[in-house]
Each structure stands twice: as structure tokens, then as C-alpha cells.
Chains A and B, each alone.
Chain A
Amino acid sequence: MQSMTNRLLLAVLLCAGCAPAATGGASEDSVVKTAAAAPSGPGLDLSGKRGTPLQSFQLKDVRGVPYRVSKHLGKDVIMISFWATWCGPCKQELAAMSPVYDELAGQGFAYLAISTDGPETLSEVRSYVGSYGYAFPVLLDSKSTVLDKFHPTGTLPFYLLVNRNGEIVEQHQGFSTGDETKLRAKVLSLLGEGS
């Protein structure tokens, strides 16, 4: 078991050595056409950033209709937010991102809110989002199978940002009031990259 541990550590450290090639840098060619209204700052420009391809998945929405994320892959900028009705900061994030979605949906921004509510609170999901009249798709991952793919620790809220090439360029855990301003800037940056 001792040698197994050492081999494991070695493998992980070797993988870490691959990191600089994967990180990439800001592309000089990228033009953020719509970023004029967005605040600038460190970490807000994701244009040119490369990442892991998002594995496609399919879930049902709150009306029971199958929803395939593949229809956005390679075309739209996607933000996937994992949330639950019992999670306060998650609900803040949904409320804060709703106007961002309303503003940018027409420019190729897809916002998917994936509820990880289990059987206990599943019945409350549609009532909750319905009363707010959110326009973005709300999908159900009551088995946490999709969440587990991208976020094994499972702590909510958690989001993924995917560029127009279908690559995950950012993932983040937690939400504080005001984060939506930065998220909007990042989305604009990614939208500008592919247009």
C-alpha cells in the first residue's frame, strides 16, 4: 500500500507538470466586442482561455421534457449553475443571474440552472422558479449524477463556464452578492471571443 501511495502521488505531480500547456493565455486575437459596458479587472477576461471539453449530458426540465446540453455545445457560451431550494446562496445566484440571462440570451448565452434537490424537496423546485418567472431552463438532477461528474465534493452553489468551443474555462464554488457583475463581464468576454 505504501508503494501504491507513492505511485499515486507521483502520477498526480506528473499531471501537474502538464498544467502550463493546459492553462493557455489570453489570446491577442480575441476581440471583446460587447465588453465596453463590462467592468475590467484581473480574471474578468476569459477570452482565449482553453479548457477541458464539456461532456454532453441530458436531463429533464421541470416540465418533464428532456433537455440536451449538446444543442449549445460549440455554439453558445454556457453557464451551468448547480443549486437547491434549501441553499440560500444558490437562490441568490439564480435571482442575480436572471437579468444577465434576459440581457444576453439573444447574443448566444445559455444559462442552465440544474437543481440537485433530492426526493425530499423536489416538489418545491417548480413552485419556486415558477413564482419568480425565470426564463432560463431549470433542469433536474435529483440523483446528483451530473453534479458528481463535475464537482465531486458536492458543495453548493457551484457553477461552470463553458466557451463557444465547448470547453470548461472556469468553475467556481460559492456565491456572494455582487458576483453577478463579474460573471456578466466574463460572459461578455467569452461571447466576444467567438463572434
Chain B
Amino acid sequence: MNRFPRIWMWLVLALMVPASSAEAIELNWGALGDGGLAITDSLQIRYLETNFNSSDDDDGVLTVLNKLNLVGTAGGFSLGFRVDSAHYFFEQCVDESACLFQDYVNPEFNSEHLLPEKLHFGWEGSLGTGSLAVKAGDFYTSFGRGMTLNIRKVDELGLDTSLQGGRVHLQNDHLTFEAVAGRTNIQNVAPIDNRYLEDPDDVIVGIETLVGGDGIELGVRGVHVEYADATVLGHEESATIAGGSLNIPDIAGMFAVYVEGALSASHDYDPQADSAPFSNVPGKAFYGALNGFFGAFNLLLEGKHYRQFQISPRDNTLRTVGIVYNAPPTLERYDQLVSSTSDTSGARLRLDYYVRASGTRVYANGLYQAFATGGNDPLGDKGKRAAHVYLGFRQTFGRDVSVELSGGWRDERVSEPLQPGKSLLRHLWHLETDVNVKLGNEQALNVKAEHRTECKPSLSSKDEDCGLLDSEASGHRFHRSLITATYAVQSVLRTSVLYGYTNEQPRAVPTDHFGVQFDWDFMAGSTLRAFGGSLPGGFICAGGTCVDVPPSSSYRLEIVSRF
């Protein structure tokens, strides 16, 4: 509790400073010339009333989380750092030492409360007809389509992983070269539940070269990972990936082709093993995309073939929150539960058509893939099949009204069911709508709604109307809906009300959820957001990883200040 005064200092800082200035600060850095200092502060105060699980110990948690980000620039130089500060207060806690700190908060972190999250120093300048950028400290990077390396911020999941080390990036009209080396640095306070997560500290080195000219670009890349966490188990683990790509972005103004492939080898050395202490698991990945552009009509055909191909931290907790070091394209919808990206083969076709005269856009998407878990062959008897089709259209009426409606159907089956005729593993249908209406010059209304009805395996309940399942589990049928209506005034004040419904078992105790949120852009670039209510939770997926967001009842105040 003696930490409270410092919390109020942050709050005062977040509220008062932007009131005096809402723009980046212009400065003269002497010999370096004119530049600026951009300060972004994000303060979140969240009270978690309950997460509807069977335990009361993790309810009644007040979290005060602050992220302060400063970036100074002058000429081609930049220097920045980010400091996170988190404070936890457990309502159920009588004796602090006996609380959930060991599960929720690292004890050392809890005594210090400050995390120097990121630090970077960089220089960018011209080099002949191209550019050269050098960076030391934290940076993001991805190679190709993320197949060999993908260390970046994933906004959809709230993840923020960087590589802490050094990067050299050289680019001109015909050559792009990048070399990186560093240790993996994650955002330690998990975005979903504010739990403290340790940095994996895995070491990654990589090189990528793209050579292009006359509309063709060839890429070669290699990455090596040394896992630090494996040493806890007495193992020595590493992975090596090498790959290449061909990119032809413009063929006669009508087509674009991109193909990429990679081979990987995961090494494990277990000195405790009596026999065969060394093991090597080979992996492979191939991906291709064909775009067709025919005026208003556009086509996208993609295919993938991945075997034992995923590079991620050894710590299961980190995998659970969605942290991976590579992310080959899944071909799935961004919001779709992806069962596996490491063992899967499939293709999808997407068609887009836009009629400019009527302001009508229609699209259709079909996916079919085989997948497997546990290192099994997706095309073998342990494999599973998934088909997903969705259609949608968006209609605009002048400049004031737009309506989008989409819906789809998904079906997953096992290849060889244990009981004849019981091959269905999971199926669902979904509907979404998004309506925007401009009301006069100063106001706007947005209504979004989404619904899914799903049957999935369950050990605790069974619904006959699922018509399920593979005999390993019973079927549970549930519905989940979320409706949000937002009223915006002068684009600076937004009021949203939401209603959510779910009867998914056993995770959600209440079926009905209500919430209210206010967003106020009190200065240019600065926003105050207040939320109160309950949310049904559910899966959020992006880049082949999914995060299971628990249902919750909470109150949250967030101030993002930029000055």
C-alpha cells in the first residue's frame, strides 16, 4: 500500500501534462539540428471483479499499469525507451506473502514495480541511391511472409515481442539486406489478464537478402535460435531454418505471384538420457499465393504445406498467450480458431468484386485443409479435415451510410472415425453485420453484431442435436453473440453500449453480459477511455495463434496521452 503515492504521481502526470500540450515537442538538438521528443503515456487502472471461474482468489484484483514511451529524434538519429510500471492489489489478500504473487506476479518485480521494457538507439541515412538503417536495442522484424522469422507486435492479440540486440538494414532499388541478432524480449505484463510473464531470453540470429530487378525479387534467409529456457530442464535445444522466396508482384498488370519455402531442423541434446541423447526433428514449409487483378474483380488463391514447422518458446505459458517466433500464413480468417500451424496442408480461394456505380462490394472465400496435432501426419489416419466457406457484401448509400453483412459455415472431421459415421469433430455457422450511419455533420452511429452457433467436443455436457461426434468426446452446442452500438459526437466523444450472450459451458457462468464504454479524445492524439461491465470472452486468433480470453466483469479506466 505504500506504493499508492507513486501511482497518483502517474495519474497526475497522465492527466495534467497533455492538458498543457497535445503535440510532439519540437526541440533543437544543437549540432544534430532540429528534431522532436514524442512522449506517449498509457495508463490503465483496472479492477477485475470476477473472471467467473471456480476460484475466488484471483477475483477482486486492482491493477495499475503504466507504459511510458519516449522517442527523441534529430536528423537521422533516434533514441527511445519505454518503461512499464505495474502495481497489483489483491482484495482477497490478508497476508501479502501468502497471496498469489508467485502465480500472478514475479516477487522481484512486485517489489520494484518498474520494468525498463524497451530501449533503442538508431540511425537512418542515405547510402547512394538507397538507405541504411542501424539499430541497437529493441526492434521488430519479420522475414518474407513470416515463415522463418516473425518478431513483431500483434495488435489483434495485444502481444508485443521484440528482439533486443542489433540490426542492420540496407535497401536500394535492387537489393535489400537485413542482419539481426539478439535475445527475445516480450511485453512482461500479459495484455489479456495483466499477469507477469518472464522474458524467454532465447537468442536469435538471422540474415535475409532480397535481390530484385525488372519486377522479380528473389529472397534467401536463414535463422538460428538457441533456447534459453531449455537449460532449466537440463537440455540444450536449438533450431535452424533456411529458406527462399520468389516474388513477382506485377505480371502484365493482371497477376502477382509469391512462393516461399523453408526447411527447419530442431535439435535437442539431453545429457541425462541413457541412450540417444541427441535428437533432430526436421521440418518443412511451402507456401504460395496467386493474385489476379481484373479491374473490379480480384482473385486470391493460396496454398500451404507445413510439417513440424513452428518455432516458439519452450515455456508452455508463453505459448498459451500466443508467443511464437515465426508465423507462416494460415489462410484462415483472422478471427478463426486455428488448430495447428505446424502440421497442415490446404488451400483457399477468395474472390472480391466491387461495383463502383452502385457502391456494392461482394466477396466469397472457401478454405479446405488437413491438419493434425502432436506431430502426426495430417494426411494420415490421425489427420483431420476442415472446410470453411463464408460470403459477404458491403453496400454504401452515398457517403453517409454503409452496411456490411457476412456469414459462413465451418465443418471439421476426423479422417478415420473410431465409430462408423461419427466423423464430425466440430461445426459452426456465423453471421456478422456492421452498419455505419452519418447523422448530420457532427454525429455518427455504428452498430456491429456478430453471432456464432457452434458444436464442439466437450467432456462435461452433451447435446444430442449436435449430431456429434468422434467417439472421443461428446458434443456441446452453444451460442455466442455480441452486439455493440457506438454513438460518436464530433469525432471526439464516443459512447458504446454492448450486449453479449453466451451459453458456452463450463467457462461462462452468466449467459447475459452488459457493458458501457466512453471514449473521449480530450486533446489531439490523447484519449480517455472508461469501461464498466462484463464481457463474454472467447478466442481471439491472429497469425496462427489463439488466445482464450476468459469472461470477466471489470471496470477499467485508460488514459493514452501523447505530447
User: Which chain B residues border A16 with CB–CB below 8 Å?
Assistant: 16-17, 20-21, 563
For B362-390 the 0/1 string (1 means CB < 8 A from A) is: 00000000000000000000000000000
Which of B275-283, B433-441, B469-477 lies at the interface with chain A? B433-441
Residue among B69, B139, B217, B328 making CB contact with A64, cutoff 8 Å: B217
In contact, A4 and B247 (Cβ under 8 angstroms): no
In contact, A96 and B399 (Cβ under 8 angstroms): yes
In contact, A12 and B73 (Cβ under 8 angstroms): no
- Counting residue pairs across A and B whose Cβ atoms lie within 8 Å, the total is 250
In contact, A128 and B352 (Cβ under 8 angstroms): yes
Which of B89-97, B144-152, B414-422, B499-507 lies at the interface with chain A? B144-152
Segment 534-563 of B: residues with Cβ below 8 Å from A:
542-544, 560, 562-563
In contact, B402 and A143 (Cβ under 8 angstroms): no
For A5-19 the 0/1 string (1 means CB < 8 A from B) is: 100110011011111
Interface of A is mostly: mixed
Closest to A70 in B: B126
Segment 1-60 of A: residues with Cβ below 8 Å from B:
1, 4-5, 8-9, 12-13, 15-23, 39, 43, 50-53, 55, 57-58
Residue among B13, B249, B295, B525 making CB contact with A13, cutoff 8 Å: B13
- Distance between Cα atoms of A156 and B155 in the complex (Å): 9
Counting CB contacts under 8 A, is B124 at the interface? yes
Quote the shortest CB–CB distance from A33 to chain B (angstroms): 23
Counting CB contacts under 8 A, is A119 at the interface? yes
In contact, B491 and A58 (Cβ under 8 angstroms): no
Counting CB contacts under 8 A, is B186 at the interface? no
User: Which chain B residues border A51 with CB–CB below 8 Å?
Assistant: 23-24, 26, 36
- Distance between Cα atoms of A152 and B439 in the complex (Å): 33
In contact, B402 and A177 (Cβ under 8 angstroms): yes
User: Which chain B residues border A175 with CB–CB below 8 Å?
Assistant: 491
Quote the shortest CB–CB distance from B532 to chain A (angstroms): 20
In contact, A15 and B25 (Cβ under 8 angstroms): yes
User: Which chain B residues border A155 with CB–CB below 8 Å?
Assistant: 155, 560
Closest to A64 in B: B249
Counting CB contacts under 8 A, is B396 at the interface? yes
- Distance between Cα atoms of A12 and B12 in the complex (Å): 12
Counting CB contacts under 8 A, is B428 at the interface? no
In contact, B147 and A119 (Cβ under 8 angstroms): yes
Closest to A173 in B: B527
Counting CB contacts under 8 A, is A75 at the interface? no
Quote the shortest CB–CB distance from A115 to chain B (angstroms): 13
Interface of B is mostly: strand
Quote the shortest CB–CB distance from B57 to chain A (angstroms): 29
- Distance between Cα atoms of A12 and B72 in the complex (Å): 12
Counting CB contacts under 8 A, is B103 at the interface? no
Counting CB contacts under 8 A, is B101 at the interface? no
Counting CB contacts under 8 A, is A126 at the interface? yes
With known contacts A19-B20, A119-B327, A88–B448 Cβ distance under 8 A: yes
Counting CB contacts under 8 A, is A149 at the interface? yes
Residue among B146, B256, B400, B441 making CB contact with A119, cutoff 8 Å: B146
Segment 114-139 of A: residues with Cβ below 8 Å from B:
116, 118-124, 126-128, 130-133
In contact, A174 and B350 (Cβ under 8 angstroms): no
Counting CB contacts under 8 A, is B296 at the interface? yes
With known contacts A51-B26, A118-B327, A123-B289, A99–B298 Cβ distance under 8 A: no
A–B pairs, 22, beta carbons within 8 Å: A5-B6, A12-B39, A12-B70, A50-B26, A53-B34, A55-B78, A58-B171, A118-B152, A118-B543, A119-B543, A126-B298, A127-B300, A130-B298, A131-B353, A143-B142, A152-B69, A168-B24, A171-B24, A177-B488, A178-B441, A178-B443, A179-B491
